[in-house]
Structure 1
Amino acid sequence: MRNTSIALTTVSACALAAALLTVPATAAEAAPEQAVYGELARNGTFTTDTAYWWGSSGVTVNSVDGALRATVEPAPADQVGQWYRAVVGQNGIKLRPGVTYTLSFDAKASRTTKIKSTVQLGTAPYPTSLENELGLTTTAKRFSWTFTSTLDSNDGHIDFQVGGQNVRTDIVLDNVSLTTSTAREGFHTDPDSTAMRWVRGTTDPRAAKIKAAIADHNTVKWFGNWDADGNAATGVRAEVSNYVGAAAAKGKLPVLVAYNIPGRDCGGASSGGSADADRYKEWIDAFAQGIEGRPAVVILEPDAVAQSSDPGCISGAALEARFDMLWYANQHLKAQGSFVQTYLDGGNATWTLGHDLSGNGGIGLKRMAYLLNRSGVSMARGVSIGVSNFDSTEVSNQYGSKLATQLKADFGVDARWVVDTARNGNGAYVTPGVPSSGHVGFCNPAGRKLGVTSRAGTGGAEYLLWIKNPGDSDGDSAECPAGSPPAGSFSPDLADALIDGR
């Protein structure tokens, strides 16, 4: 690596208690162990039955023509318009505060009417995180809302309040889905990181310190030509699948780095990568397929876009081939679905803002935006900032904001960003516009410090992530301090220095 909501409302406790008294006691008990993220609604397509869904008194549910048909009996005159008098729902939904969910479904009715849709708890005082009134007609319509939960329960409800009808009415529901891509238990820690392997195999007195400060927090796994296992397609696919699967089993969000572009690192300390474009496309196909549509964050090819601006690194037909490979990678990762969040690497603040703010070299925002656009950033979630570098989170966020603005202005691309905080605790680029005021060398520089561990972002960043694994060497070339290990090798000396900030 070179230096280069919905407003909250409440439903009457007495009213909902009356409506839910007749919920079958086995409704939640019969359900299998629920996924911790991804699709949370069970049997939302009603292909053959209405398993896991119940109807309270006053409503009968059946599967008809591959949809749930709720037949609602007429309400007494004094209860007309009181939707909570009859409810169709599903129990056993795991809800966590601060987690983002999307509820969506198709609905229609045998006549024009209104119902209410909620995500809530089924016990007093019946708090809701989502509550919407909706009008139905005889033509099916798709409804969808994204909301942030305020509730913490293993027994949340998806409820459709359908009562209060003045005549017998059929309500038809289909394709009911409640999804989240937010990990409930945080980011997945790599149990086999270089730091953890060192900790397990040593009697060094620093092992406990390095385990507690670093190995227990390494939340990113890098994949490259070392994952080929002699067969790129089966090797990396299996490695990715196993890693993502292990994270999913724990309810955690895995972060993966794809780092296998041909001509990687311009032949520098981290050189390597696939042999050619065809081999790379096979490899990235297998990488993407290994995710299997499950929630994952992917950091795509650190430095590959920024270094494409260097004619001494890549030019001509090779440059066009790189754009094509990155475009292909974004396209195939996007095809894995909305739970896969890809961030195409956008270099670092010094590399780019060093040009725009001081005129002292660098790429420049317009050029970087152009390169990212050529590389398919419109298909990604956004960009990664400062990977394996040292710029402070504040400086990286300044760059992320400027780059996102440039991409929107020049190409209409809406881009989010994530920041590598693994080694930026002491920063590197101290005075915006004056790179020489504080920027340090790219290879194992002294005086650096661990940054905040992986978490939700601040200052505009979507996530703050440990992308570079602390303690892994940047290389052993002449530009590195004497005695530096080869790139990617773990060094307890480097790790200990990062912990202490020396």
Structure 2
Amino acid sequence: MITTPGLFRAVGAPVLVAALLASATPSASAADAQPVYGELADNGTFAAGTTGWWSTGTTMTAADGALAATVDAGTANPWDAMVGQGGLRLRPGVRYTLSFDARASTAATMRATAQLDAAPHTATLDRTVGLTPSSQHFSWTFTSGIDTTAGALTFQLGGQPAATDIVLDNVSLTTSTAREGFYTDPGNNAAVWAGTHSDDTRAARIKASIGDHNTVKWFGDWDADGDPTTGIGAEVSDYVGAAAAEGRLPVLVAYNIPGRDCGGASSGGAGSPDLYKAWIDAFAQGVAGRPAIVVLEPDAVAQASDEACMNGGAEQRFDMLRHATRQLQQQGAFVRTYLDAGNATWTLGPDLSGTQGIGLEKMAYLLDRSGVSMARGVSVNVSNFDDTAVSDDYARRLAARLEADFGLTSRWVVDTSRNGNGGHVVPGSPDSGHVGFCNPAGRRLGVTSRAGSPGGAEYQLWIKNPGDSDGDSAQCPANSPAAGSFSPELAEALIDGS
């Protein structure tokens, strides 16, 4: 760690103490009221002028969504002229990312730190950069070596050979967000298999290609029911907490709806609507307002249109899904819920207007009944094989339908775990027919979990864990393992695209 001598702050400088997550922690202390997860920098785009920022040894102003500081020549040290903000919660061992854009009216240097806001001013991040009249983007990920509720983010501007105007914009200090990367489930089936079969010649490549990239954990009736202290709530809390400790974003699948999979290979779920509501309540309490992506009940919405499956229970299912989306919504802005919307080739039968086809109007109706207005958006292609372009097209048209019919803005995530060869028997040939749902041959791994692209999915995620079997029913290839069981043969076929 680096100690910065001589650093000071004006006594009257404003101190940032936000309360973004006060409801997510049991204590009402000032420390717990500070932002801990997500975006820690206040007003980093300077849309609110200089609110939340202090300066010393320089004059700062805000214009055109940026902060400008005028630095006179003749200061001896970088810390003789500064802008910054304080009152930051920095936790030891947690990963953070600092990023910003900066430029100067003439060639200059600037020192950026994350540090204690009082003596001994220990810095856990200390970088000096060169600035030019052209704006540059800077970004560093670091692990905090200090534990404080009085951290500071400083931009030290002194020591310039000539009078200089320095401009800052898009300042961001984050932890446990997609910027830091997704949390890999250490207990995923591929990683566990590779670890227990180190003498198998396939183990190393399965670990490197799959086990190290399985960033989604499924929770269902194999987990304990009900009690948020000793059951599913504790399991979810432990998982989300482990991700937060690494500064990574966890992705969870809630998969416990009664009558799950309509009695198919992945059948099961809670024993009753009341038990499901207790389970999802505990699940949401386990997340506890911390950053997380939740994919909610794959297939449950689409299957609600199947009366043979529902047997008169569609209204109960809608009620359970609305309850689930509401509970997760109440966890706050750091929790992003995506209600599952099937896939691009799931035919729901005639639309409400009587038109045959994919059933966009019907799917939009089902999603609305299921509480999608309380979710961030929808998930598509979960455990399926359609390529990302096909899935984006479906989700884009579905989002337009939701907006037209219900005035809803819907984003989406795409399961890319096994869509590297698309979902057609002959990749790229739509007329050749769609592959079956259960362990089809010729599929390949898709891109690993990442943020999406403008106009497309918000995230591309490995939701289905590659190598985990789709089931062993009559529709599956002979000798397929039971649903959810890991198969090195399936895993290697996905790696090779064979």
Q: Normalising by structure 1, what TM-score?
A: 0.69
Paired residue type of 1:441: G
Q: Deviation per CA, 1:146-172: give whole Å up to 9, x if none.
A: xx975437698478x9xxxxxxxxxxx
Q: 1:478 to 1:35 in 2, by over 3 A?
A: same
Query: Are the equivalent residues in 2 in contact too, given 1:233–1:282 (CA < 8 A)?
Result: no
Query: Are the equivalent residues in 2 in contact too, given 1:471–1:494 (CA < 8 A)?
Result: yes
Q: 1:184 to 1:398 in 2, by over 3 A?
A: closer
Equivalent in 449, 454, 458 of residue 449 of structure 2: 454
Structure 2 equivalent of residue 235 of structure 1: 231
Query: Are the equivalent residues in 1 in contact too, given 2:98–2:173 (CA < 8 A)?
Result: no
- Aligned pairs for 1:453-492 within 5 A: 453-458=448-453, 460-492=456-488
Q: 1:178 to 1:219 in 2, by over 3 A?
A: closer
Structure 1 equivalent of residue 489 of structure 2: 493
User: Secondary structure in 2 aligned to 1:342?
Assistant: strand
Q: Please give the alpha-carbon distance, in whole angstroms, between the structure 2 residues aligned to 1:226 and 1:128.
A: 59
Q: Please give the alpha-carbon distance, in whole angstroms, between the structure 2 residues aligned to 1:91 and 1:266.
A: 52
Superposed displacement of residue 23, structure 1? 4.5
Provide the aligned C-alpha RMSD in A. Answer: 4.2
Paired residue type of 2:378: V
Residue 397 of structure 2 is aligned to residue 402 of structure 1: yes
Superposed displacement of residue 208, structure 1? 0.7
Superposed displacement of residue 456, structure 1? 1.1
Query: Are the equivalent residues in 2 in contact too, given 1:194–1:472 (CA < 8 A)?
Result: yes
Residue 325 of structure 2 is aligned to residue 337 of structure 1: no
Number of residue-to-residue matches in the alignment: 393
Q: Deviation per CA, 1:344-378: give whole Å up to 9, x if none.
A: 0000000159978xx99655100000000110101
Q: Please give the alpha-carbon distance, in whole angstroms, between the structure 2 residues aligned to 1:353 and 1:307.
A: 9
Equivalent in 296, 306, 313 of residue 302 of structure 2: 306
Superposed displacement of residue 234, structure 1? 2.9
Q: 1:428 to 1:294 in 2, by over 3 A?
A: same
For structure 1, which segment, 371-380 or 456-465, has the greater mean C-alpha deviation from structure 2 after superposition? 456-465
Q: 1:151 to 1:414 in 2, by over 3 A?
A: same
Structure 1 equivalent of residue 178 of structure 2: 183
| Structure 2: gaps spanning 5 or more residues | 12-30, 43-51, 60-79, 91-95, 102-110, 114-127, 145-151, 158-171
Q: Deviation per CA, 1:25-48: give whole Å up to 9, x if none.
A: 899xxxx9x988425259xxxxxx
Query: Are the equivalent residues in 2 in contact too, given 1:421–1:465 (CA < 8 A)?
Result: yes
Superposed displacement of residue 204, structure 1? 1.8
Residue 152 of structure 2 is aligned to residue 152 of structure 1: no
Query: Are the equivalent residues in 1 in contact too, given 2:329–2:374 (CA < 8 A)?
Result: yes
Q: Please give the alpha-carbon distance, in whole angstroms, between the structure 1 residues aligned to 2:129 and 2:328.
A: 44
Superposed displacement of residue 285, structure 1? 0.5
Q: Please give the alpha-carbon distance, in whole angstroms, between the structure 2 residues aligned to 1:36 and 1:149.
A: 24
Residue 206 of structure 2 is aligned to residue 222 of structure 1: no
Structure 1 equivalent of residue 367 of structure 2: 372
Query: Are the equivalent residues in 2 in contact too, given 1:129–1:150 (CA < 8 A)?
Result: no
Q: Please give the alpha-carbon distance, in whole angstroms, between the structure 2 residues aligned to 1:325 and 1:198.
A: 35
Residue 421 of structure 2 is aligned to residue 437 of structure 1: no
Q: Please give the alpha-carbon distance, in whole angstroms, between the structure 2 residues aligned to 1:492 and 1:191.
A: 18
Q: 1:268 to 1:420 in 2, by over 3 A?
A: same
Q: Please give the alpha-carbon distance, in whole angstroms, between the structure 2 residues aligned to 1:191 and 1:241.
A: 15
Q: Please give the alpha-carbon distance, in whole angstroms, between the structure 2 residues aligned to 1:96 and 1:58.
A: 23
Query: Are the equivalent residues in 1 in contact too, given 2:411–2:458 (CA < 8 A)?
Result: yes
Q: 1:430 to 1:378 in 2, by over 3 A?
A: farther
Query: Are the equivalent residues in 2 in contact too, given 1:121–1:128 (CA < 8 A)?
Result: no
Superposed displacement of residue 228, structure 1? 1.0
Q: 1:298 to 1:410 in 2, by over 3 A?
A: same
Paired residue type of 1:496: E
Q: 1:88 to 1:257 in 2, by over 3 A?
A: closer
Equivalent in 416, 419, 425 of residue 421 of structure 1: 416
Structure 1 equivalent of residue 388 of structure 2: 393
Equivalent in 306, 323, 331 of residue 328 of structure 1: 323
Structure 2 equivalent of residue 107 of structure 1: none
Structure 2 equivalent of residue 273 of structure 1: 269
Q: 1:446 to 1:98 in 2, by over 3 A?
A: farther
User: Secondary structure in 2 aligned to 1:349?
Assistant: coil
Structure 1 equivalent of residue 66 of structure 2: none
User: Secondary structure in 1 aligned to 2:293?
Assistant: strand
Superposed displacement of residue 97, structure 1? 4.3
Q: Which structure has greater helix proportion?
A: 1
Q: Please give the alpha-carbon distance, in whole angstroms, between the structure 1 residues aligned to 2:83 and 2:189.
A: 53
Q: 1:484 to 1:247 in 2, by over 3 A?
A: same
Q: 1:355 to 1:157 in 2, by over 3 A?
A: farther
Query: Are the equivalent residues in 1 in contact too, given 2:226–2:279 (CA < 8 A)?
Result: no
Q: 1:360 to 1:336 in 2, by over 3 A?
A: same
Paired residue type of 2:411: R
Q: Please give the alpha-carbon distance, in whole angstroms, between the structure 1 residues aligned to 2:175 and 2:132.
A: 20
